[in-house]
Structure 1
Amino acid sequence: MTSWTLIRNAWADEQRAAGLSPRTIEGRDALLALLEATGRTPETVSKTDMIAVLNRRHARTGGDLSPGTRQVERSYMQTWSRWMLEEGYRPDDPGARLRKVKVPRRRPRPLTETHITNMLDSGAYQSTRDMIVIAALTGLRIGEVVKIRDEDIDRVTNTIRSLRKGGLEHIVYMPPAIQEIADRRGERGWWFPSPYSNSRFPDGGGHVLMKSASTSISRVLRKAGIADPRITGHSLRHYYATTLLRQGVGVRVVQEMMGHASLATTQLYLEVTDDEMAAASNVLPFISPRARSGRGRGHAA
């Protein structure tokens, strides 16, 4: 019988060697911890155990996991299960038989400029207001905003260097509002330092974690009267993309600014309103139905 500690460490080592991001490795390890909590050994985890984990209640809300979360976790389980088979730890691959997760078509969740103004006027802390402005005007994810350091800033080109998923380097430009924040927060290392030690920085001296920042922004959203649960801190990124697209910026340019590998992903951020669809229908030509008097239904010409 192989211990979970050995399996989790071996799999994490292989993922690091393959260049996967720490966030992905941590997410997969957290899922293995849930499988371990079922009481099964790595060799005896079954498809039924995996389904039970996918059907668990959300730890914070108590509701069902979102289809998107289930889809990601299913892929993690399948990757781990296949690795177990390939490395000879077990003779079968139970994850291969997990059914696909039906994920509803993604809809954009952008905030409006009025929403953002209300958030900034809600009495939030300066650091939270700065995070909101940075996310809205750069398209950076909250997890990327909290990692900004002064050494990531190029004041000659007015850009921020950011590391994205998979450790990919990405450059975003700073409009005047972000330059003001850079002047206030610059020359001190982390822009959003944490006064406490945390799981990422057990000895202190690190930055605020994404979970903490997201919670603060969610609190500001509700305080500003934005009750829609689908609107979160990530909706600031949707605002960035949607605003650029509506101002006529080419979708390929927006793709690069967002750091998307696929153009299809960028297009998901383009919200289409009822007014826009009505206006679009007006470009269609008028085609007369050729109605004739004296002819009833069923009389073909």
Structure 2
Amino acid sequence: MNWETVLHHFALHQRAQSLSEKTIAERDRMLRTLATMSGRSPILVDTIDMLELLSRNHHRTGQPISAGTKQSERSYLRVWGKWMVDEGYRAHDPAARLPKVKVPRRRARPLHLEHVELLLDSGAYQRTRDIITIAALTGLRIGEVVKIRGEDIDWVTGTIRSIRKGSLDHAVQMPPPVRLLARDKPRTGWWFPSLYKNADFPEGGGHVLMKSASTGISRLLRRVGIVDPKITAHSLRHFYATMLLRGGVNVRVVQEMMGHASLATTQLYMEVTQDEMAEASNVLPMIDIRSRSGRGRLAA
């Protein structure tokens, strides 16, 4: 049993589950890396090979891969290992005993309104500024923004139809600035067409790719002086959630607007500032300070 056969069968199994092509491709890419690193056939790969995979350095930075990446890849290995046993390709699952990955607590990393305005006043290309505006005011991921077509716009309800993460068919509200922007966009076809052929559109006629748009925004962030590496194009989505929550929108409503399956995920997008914590502490009751003996109050 060779890797190509196994990967083909595994992909068929995932498509039958209606998993996204992105998920299937990510798992395929990781398993091919496992095959290359181990030099073993899929029926001989063992737990040590998988541990070495999870302990590798990033091919570009030379630094250990992030805890989040390790957590994702561990879950992929667990799914693949169980599938191998269920299909009768292996008697034992080499991924069953992989250790859990300790992931640092996530913190919100939103851009602030001043940052967004700085980006829009930077003199960047109109296309880049339009993508920033839409992402900041709709909560759409960059990969979802670049896929907008004129046919996705419902002018009666003022919404954008978007197929979101997890194949969620979602109607996203367009606030007034986005409606104004939409008037200048084509009523049919891509809002952000690409002039070039690429891996997704080998014959051309496609849209700007997420990676290209995200990289452009990240470069713009650095150019205007926002140098924190944790602030990226995705931080526009954090900005959207934070602004809604600070504006008093119920967190369940924000969850639906973000397209999150879990309320806990939505809460991770909320940045809590020192001023907000100081203001919250003012609701605590006043308690007189006692002396060390506990028998009397301290003099003022």
Q: Which residue of 1 aligns with 2:266?
A: 266
Q: Deviations over 1:191-212 (max 9, x none)?
A: 1112111111111111121111
Q: Which residue of 1 aligns with 2:257?
A: 257
Q: Which moved more, 1:227-236 or 1:38-47?
A: 38-47
Report the alpha carbon displacement of residue 94 of structure 1 after superposing the two structures with TM: 0.9
Unmatched 5+ residue regions in structure 2? none
CA-atom RMSD in angstroms: 1.5
Q: Which residue of 2 aligns with 1:80?
A: 80
Q: Which residue of 2 aligns with 1:121?
A: 121
Q: Which residue of 2 aligns with 1:246?
A: 246
Compared with structure 1, are the counterparts of its residues 151 and 298 closer, same or farther at alpha carbon in structure 2 (3 Å cutoff)? same
> Given that residues 54 and 70 in structure 2 are in contact (C-alpha distance below 8 angstroms), is that contact kept between their aligned partners in structure 1?
yes
Q: Which residue of 2 aligns with 1:174?
A: 174
Q: Which moved more, 1:105-114 or 1:119-128?
A: 119-128
For residue 184 of structure 2, give the secondary structure of its aligned residue in structure 1: helix
Q: Deviations over 1:217-250 (max 9, x none)?
A: 1111111111101111110000000000001111
Q: Which residue of 1 aligns with 2:19?
A: 20
Unmatched 5+ residue regions in structure 1? 292-296
What is the distance in 1 between the residues matched to 2:121 and 2:66?
Answer: 31
2:48 aligned partner, one-letter code: T
What is the distance in 2 between the residues matched to 1:146 and 1:55?
Answer: 34
Residue 191 (structure 2) pairs with residue 165 (structure 1)? no
What is the distance in 1 between the residues matched to 2:8 and 2:216?
Answer: 33
Q: Which residue of 2 aligns with 1:294?
A: none
Percent of aligned positions that are identical: 63
> Given that residues 151 and 188 in structure 2 are in contact (C-alpha distance below 8 angstroms), is that contact kept between their aligned partners in structure 1?
no
**Superposition map of 1:168-207 within 5 A:** 168-207=168-207
Q: Which moved more, 1:90-99 or 1:181-190?
A: 181-190
Residue 209 (structure 2) pairs with residue 213 (structure 1)? no
Q: Which residue of 2 aligns with 1:64?
A: 64
What is the distance in 2 between the residues matched to 1:166 and 1:14?
Answer: 17
> Given that residues 197 and 203 in structure 2 are in contact (C-alpha distance below 8 angstroms), is that contact kept between their aligned partners in structure 1?
yes
Q: Deviations over 1:60-110 (max 9, x none)?
A: 333222211111111011101111111011111111111111011110000
Q: Deviations over 1:260-284 (max 9, x none)?
A: 1111111111211111111111111
2:258 aligned partner, one-letter code: M
What is the distance in 1 between the residues matched to 2:253 and 2:229?
Answer: 30
Q: Which moved more, 1:87-96 or 1:116-125?
A: 116-125
Q: Which residue of 1 aligns with 2:35?
A: 36
For residue 163 of structure 1, give the secondary structure of its aligned residue in structure 2: strand
> Given that residues 19 and 166 in structure 1 are in contact (C-alpha distance below 8 angstroms), is that contact kept between their aligned partners in structure 2?
no
TM-score using structure 1 length: 0.94
2:135 aligned partner, one-letter code: A
Q: Which moved more, 1:97-106 or 1:191-200?
A: 191-200
What is the distance in 1 between the residues matched to 2:205 and 2:275?
Answer: 50
